Structure 1
Amino acid sequence: MRKRLEGKVAIVTGAGSSGPGWGNGKACAVQFAREGARVFAVDINLESANETGAIINEEGGDCAVFRADVTDSDAVAQLVSACMEAYGQIDVLHNNVGIVEPGGPEKIQEENWDRLIDVNVKSMYLTCKNVLPHMVEAGGGSVINVSSIASFFSLGYPCVSYSASKGAVNAFTRNIATQYAKNHIRCNAILPGLMDTPLIR
């Protein structure tokens, strides 16, 4: 395999898996490592993040693991500082954290709406707030945000908060891409459909 990310450092949030098997973040973290990146794997579940780190390190990769709630501004600042201390650079930020809350507006509890927006949108704001200055100083980088086709289409069941949050991710991504293009920083969104992951099961 050609090591397309040799010499790069990638932060992956949601790098663990919410259950047995492979979640998107776990799969992306391992693939980044297989492409030569040094991976800083972040998850709120340290045991799950350690499983991802073990796979990477057993394959001969380089992975550091960090537990953080990426909806907490202090925790995000600490994880970015820890990554810089460990590796001295951040080339890729992969924002993978996300949750689903089924139901229409008449069914969803306000606290559940707020929690979903915090996890799916605020977390990306906080990671970008802390990572982008390092990318600007380094002269470039790549931000990858996980959105969903639910931002454009009905999935056939009510999930208004999830769809709204992913629409916000799309708008956030476009604005970051436009604002930071002059700094040689790319920002893209991935819009997967329904996937067989532990979160969905």
Structure 2
Amino acid sequence: MKKTILLLSLVCSLAASAAEPGSSKETSNGTCPVTGKPADPAITYAYEGITYSFADEASRQKFTNDRAGSLYQKLGGKAAIDAAVELFYVKVLADKRVNYFFEDINMNKQKRKQKEFLSAALGGPIPYVGKDLRSAHESLGGLNDTHFDAIAEHLQATLTELKVDPQLIGQAMAIVGSTRDAVLNRPAKPAAAATTAVP
């Protein structure tokens, strides 16, 4: 795991570990991210360069425990997601099966949105506020399982190339697989019947 984080950090030239309390310049919130109550500026935790304030000590502890146990952190945090998205789009844009979907897209904006989405989906601290998956993909006429599988293939290849632990890759791919119906604008399957496997 340390090799994975180190590799991803070098690719991004960023530190992949969480910051210690008090090491960030400013507080990012006036509302506790755990309880939704007003935050106490004296109860803080700095994570990836952002200092979060909490309503109470129990909320701060829950936040730190959730970060440590998240797939996002196990993969290497922000630095890992940044590195993976950059490499992922190199692969996607070279693939004639799907690259035409990105012909008129501002790729800097697309990469930023993808980083935000993946970070949130994998347990990062900042909620995703972009379009929902159905809305974001509804204008892509002809989008089908073949395209979804190609994109998933590139994500899996990216994580493998970055030497991410296979078990963590499996967890990440299960999360990605769970978005298939939304991305392809299909009716959602009941939770018990839904399959999340991605090739």
Instruction: Write 1 or 2 for the structure with the bigger share of helix.
Output: 2
Instruction: Write 1 or 2 for the structure with the bigger share of strand.
Output: 1
Higher RCO, 1 vs 2 (CA within 8 Å, ≥6 residues apart): 1
Scaled by the length of structure 1, the TM-score of the pair is: 0.26
Scaled by the length of structure 2, the TM-score of the pair is: 0.26
